[in-house]
Amino acid sequence: MRVLLLRHGATQGNLAGRYIGRTEEPLCGVGIAALHPLAPCELLVSSPMLRCVQTARLLFPEQEIRLCDGLRECDFGRFEGKTYKDLTGDPDYQAWIDSGGTMAFPGGEPPQAFRERSVHAFSALLREPVQSLAVVAHGGTVMSVLSAYDGGDFYSYHVENGHGYAAEFEGEQLLQWERL
C-alpha cells in the first residue's frame, strides 16, 4: 500500500509557535496558499480537527473524507495556546523539557498515550482493502506513526506544515519512506 502521511497546513498559532492541540483553529492565508492539489487516492482519512479537514479538502478537492478521531493532535493541557517564551520560567514546563518530552502535560494528555492512540488508529487503516491511502493529520501524529514503524527517534520525523512523507507498506510492515 502506498501511504501519504501529511501534516495540515499552517494556522496562525503554528506561525506564532504556539502549542496548538485541542484548539480548533482554521488555516491561515499563508497555510492555504502553500497547499496544492494532489493526485487522488483510494482512501482519504483526516483528523476531525478543522485545520486537517480544510487541508484535506484543499489537497484532494474531489474526494470524500473519512474522519478518524484517533488521529487528533495531543492535548497540551495547561500549555495549550502558549509559546515556549510564554512558558519560560514555568517549573512544570521546565520539568516537561527536562523529561525529554515524556512527562504528561499538566491537565493534558500523556505523550505516550497520545503516541499509542495515533499508532493504533493508523494501524487500523493499514488493514483497509486499498492500494493507496492519504492521511491528513498533525505533526505529532505523523511523528508517532513513523517512529513506531521505522524505529527511529520521535523528533527525527518532524514535519513542517503542509508537508509529509510517502511510504510503502506491506501489511503492517514499513518497506520504505521518503520526505515529500
Domains of the chain, by residue range, sit at 2-75+110-179
What pLDDT score does 130 carry? 98
Contacts for 54 with CB less than 8 Å, ≥ 6 apart: 8, 9, 26, 27, 32
Contacts for 173 with CB less than 8 Å, ≥ 6 apart: none
CA–CA gap between residue 164 and residue 133 (Å, rounded): 13
At 122, which helix (H) or strand (E)? helix 111-125
Query: What confidence tens digit (pLDDT) does each residue in 6-18 have?
Result: 999 999 999 999 9
Q: Phi/psi at 37 (nearest 5 deg)?
A: -55, 145
Query: What confidence tens digit (pLDDT) does each residue in 86-116 have?
Result: 999 999 999 999 999 899 999 999 999 999 9
CA–CA gap between residue 47 and residue 25 (Å, rounded): 13
Query: How much is the pTM?
Result: 0.96
C-alpha neighbours within 13 Å on the C-beta side of residue 89: 2
Contact 134, 41 (CB under 8 A): yes
CATH annotation of 2-75+110-179:
3.40.50.1240
Q: Cα 108–112–113 angle (5° rounding)?
A: 65
CA–CA gap between residue 84 and residue 119 (Å, rounded): 27
Set of cell numbers at residue 161: 506544515
pLDDT bin (cut points 50, 70, 90) of residue 120 is very high
Mean pLDDT of 122-141: 98
What average pLDDT does the chain have?
A: 97
